C-alpha cells in the first residue's frame, strides 16, 4: 500500500465552501484507487472532482512514519 495526497488544483472551478473537502491523504494500492477512495467520502465539491486529474492533484507520498491521520481538510457548515 502507498500513501497519496490529493488536493483541489489551483484555478480549478470547484466548489470549496461549507461541507466540502479541499484535500486528503489516503492509503491505497494505486492513484486510481486513491482517487476512488477520496470520491467515496466527498462532500459538496462532488465525487467526480476527485477522479478528474484536471481538477485535482494526486501525489504519492513516502510510506515512512508512525500510523495516524496525516491530513484532512473539510469545511463544515
Q: Which residue is listed with cell 486528503?
A: 24
Tell me what pLDDT residue 66 has: 77
Contacts 24+ apart (CB under 8 A), 39-42: none
Domains of the chain: total: 1
The grid coordinates listed for 17 are 465552501
Q: What is the pTM of this model?
A: 0.81
Helix, strand or coil, per DSSP, at residue 66 = coil
Residue 3 has pLDDT above 80, yes or no: yes
Range of the domain at 59: 2-75
pLDDT in tens, 4-53: 999 999 889 898 888 888 899 998 999 999 999 999 999 999 999 999 99
Amino acid at each position: 500500500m502507498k500513501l497519496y495526497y490529493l488536493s483541489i488544483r489551483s484555478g480549478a472551478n470547484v466548489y470549496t465552501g461549507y461541507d466540502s473537502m479541499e484535500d486528503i491523504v489516503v492509503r491505497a494500492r494505486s492513484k486510481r484507487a486513491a482517487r476512488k477512495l477520496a470520491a467515496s467520502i466527498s462532500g459538496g465539491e462532488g465525487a467526480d472532482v476527485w477522479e478528474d486529474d484536471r481538477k485535482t492533484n494526486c501525489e504519492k507520498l513516502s510510506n515512512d512514519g508512525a500510523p495516524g491521520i496525516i491530513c484532512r481538510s473539510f469545511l463544515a457548515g
